[in-house]
Amino acid sequence: MATSNLALKAHRAHEVLLAVLECAQHECPHCGGRHGHSIVCDTEPLAERFEPKALPWPQHGHCSATATAFEQHRVLGGIRAPRSNRILLRILTEDLGMDEHEAQGQLKRNTLIIYRHFGDVTDDIVVAISKNWPELTSVDFRAGGRPTRCTSITDIALIALATNCAGLRKINVSYCSKITNAGIIALANCEELVVISLSTMSRDITDAGVIALAEGCAGLQSIDLSGCRNITDAAIIALADGCVGLVWISMALCDNITDAAIVALANCDYLKLCNSVCTKVSATGRALIKEIKTRQKPPPLDKGWWLDDGREPRCKGMMN
């Protein structure tokens, strides 16, 4: 009797599987396509995705019951999205104007690119995103040199990101003119940060903010300070001393930068690009920049070399 029951259950499971595969070959009522075995449609209205229900395909044996079970394990890698992801999808699509396919892609990559969307980006939106997305590693608010809807964000947004997204590695806040040293100093707590762009920020960004980055983000590889006119040699010297793996830096339009900054940067063995257009760097300094660009570079550093397995960041003498 036990053997007979097992055989019956196995047969039943086989029938269910066949029904699912057959059902999946029918035309999708949302997009008209055929989705193979996934029974997941990216064009289905967001509000309908998370409600357990039978899919409206033709009935085939156990198809309705099986589809109902599958409906409860939806989206994002073939499983039902966690509640935080559902909240994020709503923010990205309804508040920021992304299409759902792109929003899901950004969630999977832990990358937030919102500068090109139509919704007004406010501190409240960024705070909500940060609270529901602790795995976020990359944020891009800039817009290729044009003022954007992201200009309304303030230090509150950056403090929230620094507090809730400890693994942040890349951030671009170019043209976000309401951000001050307070926001930049908060980001200095993100020890995994490797890329930051502060291009054309307000005059409220001074040496204090950049020095905090140099002291807190030893693995920084790229920093854009273009147009930060209150930055002086002191900030660049701090970066050269604290971020020895620096590869790219722009100080264009920083009126107070002189040859002293370039001399300090010459100690960064991995430096490949140094932009000093419209600064006080002399012909001698520019010649040194050319030498820095063309000299032979050491072998690449290991990923996360400065973190040293959770211990204190390594000093320059431990790099090689």
Judgement on whether residues 55 and 87 belong to the same structural domain of the protein: no
Decide if 156 is inside a domain.
yes
Q: Which two tokens stand for residue 308?
A: 């040293």
Judgement on whether residues 291 and 241 belong to the same structural domain of the protein: yes
The model carries a pTM of 0.71
pLDDT tens for 200-230 read 866 789 999 999 999 999 999 999 999 999 9
Judgement on whether residues 212 and 172 belong to the same structural domain of the protein: yes
Please name the residues in contact with 269: beta carbons below 8 A apart, sequence gap of 6 or more: 244, 297, 298
CA dist 236 and 258 (Å) reads: 10
Highest mean pLDDT among 174-183, 237-246, 302-311: 237-246
Q: Which two tokens stand for residue 5?
A: 């029951």
- DSSP assignment, residue 317? G
pLDDT tens for 253-286 read 999 999 999 999 999 999 999 999 999 999 999 9
Decide if 320 is inside a domain.
no
Decide if 77 is inside a domain.
no
Q: What is the 3-state secondary structure (H, E, C) of 5-30?
A: HHHHHHHHHHHHHHHHHHHCCCCCCC
Decide if 309 is inside a domain.
no
Which range marks the domain in which residue 225 is found? 83-300
Which of 175, 217, 178, 215 lies closest to 198, judged by CA?
175
pLDDT at position 305, please? 87
Last residue of a domain, one of 10, 45, 71: 71
> How many domains does the chain contain in total?
2
Judgement on whether residues 217 and 160 belong to the same structural domain of the protein: yes
Q: How far apart are the first and last CA of the chain?
A: 71
